[in-house]
Amino acid sequence: MRRWKEELQPELKRRGLQVVTVSTDSVEELQNGRGAHGLDATMLADFDLAVTDAFGLRNQLINSAPPGDEQEALPVPTTLLVDRDGTVMWMDQAENYQRRSGPSVVRTALRDHLG
């Protein structure tokens, strides 16, 4: 599979959209893994799950314990497309807690929902 950047970044840039990720990883962990997907994304560190809970994204099926407990809390893998004004234009939540939506799902949303 080609990387996100190769597949989607030109289209997202043309439309003035960006991808925002939310993770329970620390700022340092996010910085260290930034190039893993080849995506120019805004990456939010949300260790205390404040953003995750504000948007109702805490995974209730698995790994939903508070941070610091034996079982790590996790957000539901969610992909957001956000415009220049910070408005969420599209959101997708993955059913598999280990996988975020792939480029083909985002490409379809761009075509079908954002014209």
State the pLDDT at residue 7: 75
State the pLDDT at residue 37: 55
State the pLDDT at residue 62: 64
State the pLDDT at residue 22: 78
Instruction: Provide the 3-class DSSP secondary structure of residue 76.
Output: coil
Structural domains of the chain, with CATH: 4-112 (3.40.30.10)
Residues of the chain where predicted confidence (pLDDT) is lower than 50: 1-2
What's the token pair of residue 14? 């043309």
State the pLDDT at residue 20: 77
State the pLDDT at residue 77: 76
Q: Which of 14, 17, 19, 16 is nearest to 4 (CA)?
A: 19
